[in-house]
């Protein structure tokens, strides 16, 4: 027998004797803790819905089984982008099953999707497991060039944008009605003649509709747009189609600052003169905006208007006069403009008049 074989045999015997010694020294509590443990097992980790119409909400209960010998605790369920978790069973007894309910809204998806959810548990060997919802999202009703319209306009203006609604259904396609979310969003539609239809859009020989969406007017509110136009069709797979109305409605002009506080001031102080600047937001024709006059309702405070070198920009100078009486200032300055939506703007003015410093 060679020396190498003898050395290897001795090393193996020493290792085995150490393992036996450790096993003999393990306490019953330690042995029981190793034996008792939860086991996280997902019965069917993937649910494939096949081809579904766009806009359908897919919901599935994934069965989670505890194949261990201790209580399985679901610590957290973390959905990936586009997937939501409605509920899940937190404690699952040994040998029993629980559920993790997940759902996917297909409104914003087209084509193959796979949305996953990570399940975290107290299983010492497999602390996480993945489940996913798979599908192929088919838009039976769709818009060309896109399912949204976007506006960037001034308050009082109105703008029309047009989209084409088409279908992949086999049956003759019709728009039954269109519902607008706001009175200042007006929608009309018309079925196209054969000569007007776009080629390679939708199913051949299927109807196409031109939809005009006009937004704006004096009743439109200033701020971001986030509305939905609801189109009801006779499609059996996708009877409802939503068109997003996005963008922003800007004020016709801006005033900086929107209020004036002189603080404690004497008529001879430099702080007794304040400036308010009014600028047009009309980028195409700023010169169409004019400030005609400014009136002060505060005794001792005068208001004068003059244009600046920039088109559509005016300065309103507020001046505490030498004849202003001591005491508090509390009133308004009214500025008149050529704007049709908001022809006047009121600037609140405050302050305290003190005697001049010698």
- Domain regions of the chain by residue span: 3-35, 40-138, 153-250, 253-353
pLDDT-above-70 percentage for the chain:
89
Q: How far apart are CA 94 and CA 66, in angstroms?
A: 5
Q: Does pLDDT of 294 surpass 60?
A: yes
Q: Which residue did the predictor score with more confidence, 23 or 321?
A: 321
Task: Specify whether domain 40-138 bears CATH 2.60.40.10.
Answer: yes
List, for residues 313-339, the tens digit of each pLDDT value: 999 999 999 888 899 999 999 999 999
List, for residues 100-148, the tens digit of each pLDDT value: 999 999 988 889 999 999 999 999 999 999 999 999 998 899 999 999 9
Which residues are CB-neighbours of 190 under 8 A, at least 6 positions away? 209, 210
Q: Does pLDDT of 17 surpass 80?
A: no
Q: 153-250 maps to which CATH number? A: 2.60.40.10
| Class for the domain spanning 253-353 | mainly beta
Using the structure block, give the residue that is written with the tokens 């993937």: 46
Angle made by CA atoms 42, 47, 52, in degrees to the nearest 5:
165
Q: How far apart are CA 198 and CA 205, in angstroms?
A: 10
Residue 28's pLDDT is what? 53
pLDDT-above-90 percentage for the chain:
77
Task: Tell me the C-alpha to C-alpha distance, in Å, between residue 38 and each of 35, 69, 104, 311.
Answer: 10, 6, 29, 75
List, for residues 142-153, the tens digit of each pLDDT value: 999 999 999 999
């Amino acid at each position: 027998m060679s020396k190498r074989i003898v050395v290897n045999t001795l090393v193996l015997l020493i290792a085995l004797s150490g393992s036996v010694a450790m096993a003999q020294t393990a306490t019953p509590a330690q042995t029981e803790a190793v034996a008792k443990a939860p086991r996280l097992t997902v019965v069917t980790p993937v649910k494939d819905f096949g081809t579904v119409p766009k806009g359908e909400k897919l919901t599935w209960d994934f069965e989670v089984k505890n194949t261990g010998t201790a209580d399985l605790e679901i610590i957290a369920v973390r959905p990936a982008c586009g997937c939501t978790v409605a509920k899940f069973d937190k404690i699952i007894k040994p040998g029993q099953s629980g559920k993790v309910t997940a759902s996917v809204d297909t409104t914003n998806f087209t084509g193959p999707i796979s949305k996953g959810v990570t399940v975290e548990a107290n299983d010492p060997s497999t602390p996480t497991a993945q489940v996913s919802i798979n599908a192929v999202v088919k838009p039976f009703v769709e818009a060309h060039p896109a399912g949204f319209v976007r506006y960037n306009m001034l308050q009082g203006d109105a703008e029309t944008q047009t989209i084409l609604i088409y279908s992949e259904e086999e049956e003759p396609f019709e728009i039954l009605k269109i519902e607008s979310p706001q009175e200042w969003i007006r929608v009309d539609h018309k079925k196209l003649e054969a000569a007007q239809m776009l080629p390679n859009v939708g199913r051949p020989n299927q109807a196409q509709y031109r939809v005009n969406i006009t937004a704006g007017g004096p009743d439109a509110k200033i701020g971001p747009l986030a509305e939905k136009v609801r189109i009801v069709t006779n499609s059996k797979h996708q009877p409802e189609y939503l068109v997003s109305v996005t963008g922003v409605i800007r004020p016709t002009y801006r005033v900086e600052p929107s209020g004036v506080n002189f603080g404690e001031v004497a008529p001879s102080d430099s702080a007794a003169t304040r400036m308010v600047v009014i600028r047009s937001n009309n980028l195409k024709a700023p010169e169409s905006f004019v400030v005609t006059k400014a009136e002060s309702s505060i005794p001792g405070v005068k208001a004068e208007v003059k244009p600046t070198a920039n088109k559509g920009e005016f300065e309103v100078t507020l001046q505490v006069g030498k004849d202003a009486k001591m005491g508090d200032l509390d009133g308004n300055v009214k500025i008149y403009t050529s704007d049709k939506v908001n022809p006047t703007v009121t600037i609140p003015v405050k302050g305290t008049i003190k005697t001049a410093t010698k």
